Structure 1
C-alpha cells in the first residue's frame, strides 16, 4: 500500500480519506483539527470549513501534479532514512507524521527540514515552560534564577534547530550543543536544589524530541557525503 492514497482529487472529501501504511499511520483529521483550533474563538461553522477548503486548495496538488508527486509513495523509505538512527524509532516516526507537512516533503532533505522545525518549536515550548515557572507567583523565589537560566538555555537550543545554522559535515556536533544547553539547565537546577515535580518530565520529553533532531542531523551529514 502506498503511504498516501486518495480515491479522487476531490479536496474536501477524498483527501479526508488519506491512508498511510503501518509505519506511518495517521488520519487526515490532523489537518482539520489544526485548522479548527485556529478558529476556535469563532462559532461560525461555515468559516471553519471554508478555511479548511482553502487550505487544501492551496497545499495539495492538482491531478497532474498528484500523479508526479513522489513523496507519498516513498514516505516509509524517507522516514526510515531519517529515523533509523534515532534512539526511539517509533517516537521519531510518530512525531514526524504528526505534522501534515511531512506528507508533502519531496525528498529526504525535506523530511530533515521538517524534523528540525518540529524540534525547534518544541524547544521554544520548553523555554516558555521554564519562563512560566520562573514568573509564577507560587514559585519559590530561590528557584527563580535557575528557572530563568533554563528558559534561556532552551531558547538557545531552539536556535540550533535550523538548517542554515547546521554545517553539513558537522551537523550532529552542532545539534549536540543543544543537548549541552539542556544539561547546563539540569546542572543549575541541581545546584540550586530546585524541586518542582513537572520539570523532570518536561526535560525528558524535550530529550525525546532532541533525539529526532540528532537523527535528522546525522541524515544531513550522510546526504553531504
Structure 2
C-alpha cells in the first residue's frame, strides 16, 4: 500500500509538470505568433526565433526583439567577414574593392553603433530610440548594395538580401513596440 501511494504521488507530480510545461510552451508559441504577425516576413521571423535556444526563455516581445537583433548582428558580422575575404582576393578589380571598402565601413558602423544602440534602447524600454537606430540598419545595407552600378556587379547581393530581410523583421518588431507601448503579450 505504501509503495502504491508513493507511485501515485510521483505520477501526479510528473503529470502536473507536463501540464505546466505544455502551458508554458503554448504561451511561448502564442508570443512568437503574435510577435511575428507584426512583421512583413512572418515565416522568416518564426523560423529565426524557433532556431534560437534563447527563445525558450523569452517572457515578452522585448525579449524576442532582443533575440532578433542578435541574429541581425550575426548576419552583419558574417557579411562583414565575407567582404573582408573578398578584399583579400587578388582577382577582384580596384573599382569593386573601393566599393567593398566603403561597404565594410558601413557594416562596421551597423555592428558597432546602430545595433548597440538598438540593444540599449530595448534594455531601457526606449522604443523610439531603438526604432530610430534599427531603421538605420536596412538603410545602410541598401546604400552599400546600391553603390554597385553597371558595369560593376555586387559580389555580396545574396548577403545584402539576407541582411535586409532580417533587419526589416527586427525593425518591424521594434516599430510595433514603439507604436504599442503596452503590447498585449
TM-score (norm 2): 0.74
Larger Rg: 2
Pick aligned residue for 2:172 from 207, 215, 222: 215
Structure 2 gap ranges (5+): 1-15
Change (3 A) 1:91 1:218: same
Report what 1:109 is aligned to: 62
Report what 2:29 is aligned to: 76
Counting matched residue pairs gives 160
TM-score (norm 1): 0.62
Q: Which string of whole-angstrom CA distances, capped at 9 and with x for unpartnered residues, describes residues 190-209 of structure 1?
A: 28x4324x422221111111
Q: Which string of whole-angstrom CA distances, capped at 9 and with x for unpartnered residues, describes residues 133-179 of structure 1?
A: 12222211221111011112122223423320464234333211112
Pick aligned residue for 1:195 from 145, 148, 153: 153
Structure 1 Cα separation of the partners of residues 169 and 71 of structure 2: 9
Higher helix fraction (1 or 2) = 2
Question: Is the 1:157–1:179 Cα contact (8 Å) retained in structure 2?
Answer: no
Structure 1 gap ranges (5+): 1-62
Question: Is the 2:65–2:174 Cα contact (8 Å) retained in structure 1?
Answer: yes
Higher RCO (Cα < 8 Å, 6 or more apart): 2
Question: Is the 1:157–1:181 Cα contact (8 Å) retained in structure 2?
Answer: yes
> RMSD of aligned C-alpha atoms?
2.6
1:168 aligns with 2:100: no
Report what 2:138 is aligned to: 179
Report what 2:10 is aligned to: none
Pick aligned residue for 1:148 from 97, 101, 111: 101
Structure 1 Cα separation of the partners of residues 72 and 152 of structure 2: 25
